[in-house]
Amino acid sequence: MTIKITGTGSYIPKVLKKNTDFLQHSFKNIDGSDFPNSIEKTIEKFKDITGIEERRYIDDNLNTSDIAFKAAENAIKNANLNPEELDYIIVATNYGDVKKGTNQSDMVPSIASRVKHKLRIKNPKCVCYDILFGCPGWIESVIQAQAFIKAGMARKCLVIGSEALSRVVDVHDRDSMIFSDGAGASIVEASEDDGGILAFESATHAYSEFDYIYFGKSNEADSDDSTRYIKMNGRKIYEFALINVPKAMKACLEKSNCDIKDLKKIFIHQANEKMDQAILKRFYKQYNTEVPEGIMPMSIKELGNSSVATVPTLLDMVIHKKLEGQNIEKGDIIMFASVGAGMNINAIIYKY
Alpha-carbon gap, residue 267 to 274, rounded angstroms: 15
Q: What is the pLDDT of residue 24?
A: 84
pLDDT of residue 5 exceeding 90: yes
Which of 28-37, 44-53, 295-304 is predicted with the least confidence, judged by mean pLDDT?
A: 28-37
- Top-confidence residue, 216 or 139: 139
| Topology match between the domains 2-193 and 198-351 | yes
| Coil, strand or helix at 326 | coil
> What is the amino acid identity at position 58?
I
Q: What is the pLDDT of residue 268?
A: 97
Strand boundaries in the chain, DSSP class E: 2-11, 15-18, 54-57, 88-92, 127-131, 156-164, 181-191, 196-204, 213-216, 229-232, 263-268, 333-340, 344-351
pLDDT of residue 224 exceeding 80: no
- Domain residue limits, the chain: 2-193, 198-351
pLDDT digit string, tens, across residues 34-67: 877 788 888 898 999 999 999 999 999 999 999 9
Full-model pTM: 0.94
> Facing residues of 202 across strands?
346
CATH code for residues 198-351: 3.40.47.10
> By the 8 A CB rule, do 42 and 174 touch?
yes
pLDDT of residue 104 exceeding 90: no
Q: Which CATH number fits domain 2-193: 3.40.50.620, 3.60.21.10, 3.10.129.10, 3.40.47.10?
A: 3.40.47.10
pLDDT grade for 258, boundaries at 50, 70 and 90? very high
Write the DSSP string, 196-227.
Answer: EEEEEEEEE--SS-TTSEEEE--SSTTS-TT-
pLDDT digit string, tens, across residues 116-170: 999 999 999 999 999 999 999 999 999 999 999 999 999 999 999 999 999 999 8
Mean pLDDT computed over every residue of the chain: 94
Closest by Cα among 258, 290, 264, 287 to 277: 290
